[in-house]
């Protein structure tokens, strides 16, 4: 898990892919929030289209490449949970703090990826590294 967390932290703006309620693929810039109790957490707000899309179909994939041409693909089921400790950790990100101001903001929600699978690969020809949480 440490390799996956480090990759996400080192490349802070990822792309989250969902299936929209119209049945079409949707990709959005997103940020990894934290690892907490062995889970990979993200945040959003419950008024956004992405939240509504994940309520309709919770299976998502996150992808990003690094400046050194390595990449990660991370997928799983988005599980929304009222976890105040995670919300407080999210407030350490100044961007999140500026948008939601407090962990108690009623539109601020957090989710983790259940049954997450990650692949980290590059163009070296070496086998990709596989992770499962």
pLDDT tens digits, 26-62:
999 999 999 999 999 999 999 999 999 999 999 999 9
B/e letters for 90-125, b = 16+ CB within 10 Å, e = fewer, are: bbebeebeeebeebeeeebbbbbbeebebebbeeee
* Domains of the chain, earliest start first: 2-124 (2.30.110.10)
The pLDDT value given to residue 30: 97
Q: Percent helix, strand, coil in the chain (nearest 5)? A: 25, 45, 30
Identify the band that residue 1 occupies on the pLDDT scale cut at 50, 70 and 90: confident
For residue 70, the SS3 value is coil
């Amino acid at each position: 898990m440490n390799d996956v967390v480090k990759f996400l932290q080192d490349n802070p703006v990822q792309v989250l892919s969902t299936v929209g309620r119209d049945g079409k693929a949707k990709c959005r810039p997103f940020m990894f929030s934290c690892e907490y109790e062995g889970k990979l957490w993200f945040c959003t707000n419950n008024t956004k289209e992405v939240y509504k899309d994940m309520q309709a179909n919770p299976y998502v994939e996150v992808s990003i490449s690094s400046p050194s041409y390595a990449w990660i693909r991370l997928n799983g089921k988005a599980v929304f949970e009222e976890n105040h400790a995670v919300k407080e950790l999210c407030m350490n990100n100044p961007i999140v703090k500026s948008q939601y101001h407090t962990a108690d903001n009623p539109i601020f929600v957090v989710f983790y990826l259940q049954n997450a699978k990650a692949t980290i690969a590059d163009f070296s020809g070496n086998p990709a590294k596989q992770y499962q949480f």
